[in-house]
Structure 1
Amino acid sequence: MQIFEEIQSRGHEALTLLHHAPSGLKAALAVHSTVLGPAIAGVRLRPLDEENAIRGALALSESLTLKAALAGLNYGGGACVLLMPEAGVEDPHAREALFRALGRKVRALESQVVLTEDIGVTGSDIAFVAQETPATLGVNTDTSAVTGYGVYRGMKAAARYALGSESMRGVRVAILGVGAVGRTLAGHLHREGARLTVADHRLERAQELADDLDGITVVGANELLDVPCDILSPCGYGHSVRSTDVPRLQCRLIAGGEHHPLSRRGEAAVKEAGIMYMPDFAINAAGLIAAATSLTPEQAAERVYATVSRVASVAEQYGKAPHVVARRMAERRIDLIGSLGTGAALQGRSA
């Protein structure tokens, strides 16, 4: 991996490797942009090798820049991907040490970075970080639950344009990945009467959801992309839909909580196939909004609904793909507000 070439091509400001041997801390901290304010960095803890951790941090931080900008937040984008310590984190003291070590390492960067939870990390973990640095958000926010509800509201807004109605009653939705976000999304869709098919790489997790919610169909993770459906909702760890998978899809809309479910090539492929794709940074922002502001989960989700509606409306008006429109909207806000100088980002940070 050519790190400097990767950073330059994506426009990142910094990539920092963090290490603390006693706690087992090994992390890649990427800062994509601080034009609008300090970079909100989602913290992930996953069993990855070093190269994939770095690649993940770079990709996620770019997505966070677009998400914060499109959501109207005065923050930039960052990401912190922790490698799973060899000894694991089952021991509560070991987990505390890991996240307090992270907080202490971030002290020197607290004017540039704000940490919040992401996959594999909880509000309690961020509370440990907060013991060492004030550069945290979302300690008291159940971001996964808020994000799941926001995806549900955003899905309804997108369906109004893709399917002709925002009602989910009788709509066939295939959800790939039923962790915290996917499970929350499934609950809201089930209550409205959607016809759900779910899959997860941990089959028992999908089966547990089916045991809790009547009428759900469970299939293998490798089979879900072949399921006839109206909406495909990726809610996994990223790149769930490869460009070579697109001919298999039998949906009219892709809308889910997953970061980067498609590559740039995949985005082009679904556009060519006539499938509407609402990008992750537009539809999965509710948890970030709630963590960064004083808005309630319901208010944060309604902001997502309004954003998705605006993106879909402009895309329809000008005959452009929603993911292209959303990116241009985010980049335009960065350019316009960034041109006002640093004072713009310091005032009304929770806008």
Structure 2
Amino acid sequence: MQILEEMQSRGHEALTLLHHAPSGLRAALAVHSTVLGPAIAGVRLREQDEDLAIRGALALSESLTLKAALAGLNYGGGACVLMTPECGMDDPHAREALFRALGRQIRPMEARVVLTEDIGVSAGDIAFVAQETRSTLGMHTDTSAVTGYGVYRGMKAAARFALGSESMRGVRVAILGVGAVGRALATHLHREGARLTIADDRPERAEALAEDLDGVTVVSCEQILDAPCDILAPCGYGHSIRSTDVPRLQCRLIAGGEHHPLTRRGEDAVKEAGIVYMPDFAINAAGLIAAATTLDMNQAAERVYQTVGRITAAAEQYGKAPHVVARRMAERRIQLIGSLGGAGTWRSA
């Protein structure tokens, strides 16, 4: 991987590798943009090698820039991907040490980076970080629950454009990944009467959810891409849909909580296939909005609903794909607000 070329092509400002041997801290911290303000960096913890951690941080940080901009927040985008220590994370003292070590390493970067939770990281973990640095957000927000509800509301707005109605009753929705966000999304959809097919790379998790929600069909992660459905909702770790998988898809809309379910090539492929794609940075922003503002779950989800509505209205007006419109809207705000100079001195949204 040519790291500098990758950073240049995406417009990144910085990439830092963090290391603290006693705690087992090994992390990649990417700052994509600070044009609108300090970079909100989602912190992820996963078992993966260094190359995957760097790739993940670069991709996620770009998505956070677009998400914050589109949501009207005065923040830029970053990402911090932690590699699971070899000793594991079962010892609570070891977990505390890991996240406090992260906080100490972030302390010199407080003017540029703000950490918040993401996959594998809890509000309690961010509270450990906060013992060492002021640059944290979201400790008192159930980010996954808020994000899941926001995806549900955004999906309804997208369905009005793609399916002709925002009602989910009888709509076939295939959810790939039923962790905290996917489970919350499934619960809201089930309550409205959607017909659900679910899959997870931990099959027992999907089976447990199916036991709680009547009438849910469980398939494998490979099978779900072939499932007849109206909406495919990727809610996994990223790049769940390869460009070569697109001809298999039987959906009319892709809308889920996952960051970067498609590559740029995949986005082109779904556009050619006539599938509407509502991008991650537009539809999964409610958790970030709630963490960065004083808005509650309903208010944050309503902001997502309104944003998706603006995207689809513009897409219909100009005959453009919604994911193209959404990116242009985010980039336009960065350009306009960035031109004022001195961004980042006032964080309220």
Same fold judged by TM-score > 0.5? yes
Aligned to 1:250: 250
Aligned to 2:89: 89
Aligned to 1:12: 12
The one-letter amino acid of 2:204's match is E
Deviations 1:285-335 (A, max 9, x none): 000000000000110000000000100110111110111000000000000
Residues 294, 350 of structure 1: 8 Å contact kept: no
Residues 41, 79 of structure 1: 8 Å contact kept: yes
Aligned-partner Cα distance in 2 for 1:123–1:260:
23
Aligned-partner Cα distance in 2 for 1:283–1:316:
18
Residues 178, 200 of structure 1: 8 Å contact kept: yes
Aligned-partner Cα distance in 2 for 1:263–1:312:
21
The one-letter amino acid of 2:344's match is A
1:234 aligns with 2:234: yes
Aligned to 2:344: 345
Aligned to 1:321: 321
Provide the TM-score with structure 2 as the length reference.
0.99
Provide the TM-score with structure 1 as the length reference.
0.99
Aligned to 1:274: 274
Aligned to 2:295: 295
| Secondary structure in structure 2 of the residue aligned to 1:44 | strand
Aligned-partner Cα distance in 1 for 2:135–2:9:
28
Aligned to 1:37: 37
Pairwise CA distance, 1:346: 1.8
The one-letter amino acid of 1:64's match is L
Aligned-partner Cα distance in 1 for 2:344–2:188:
35
Deviations 1:72-115 (A, max 9, x none): 00000000000000001110000000000000000000100000
| Secondary structure in structure 2 of the residue aligned to 1:340 | coil
Matches within 5 A, 1:85-234: 85-234=85-234
Query: CA RMSD for the aligned pairs?
Result: 0.5
Q: Which stretches in structure 1 are left out of the alignment for 5+ residues?
A: none
Pairwise CA distance, 1:345: 3.1
The runs of 4+ residues in structure 1 deviating greater than 4 Å are: none
Q: Which stretches in structure 2 are left out of the alignment for 5+ residues?
A: none
Pairwise CA distance, 1:6: 1.0
Pairwise CA distance, 1:9: 1.0
Aligned-partner Cα distance in 1 for 2:348–2:198:
36
Sequence identity (%)? 83
The one-letter amino acid of 2:192's match is E
Aligned-partner Cα distance in 1 for 2:64–2:30:
11
Aligned to 1:27: 27
Deviations 1:260-285 (A, max 9, x none): 00000000000000000000000000
The total of aligned residue pairs comes to 349
The one-letter amino acid of 1:346's match is T
The one-letter amino acid of 2:143's match is T
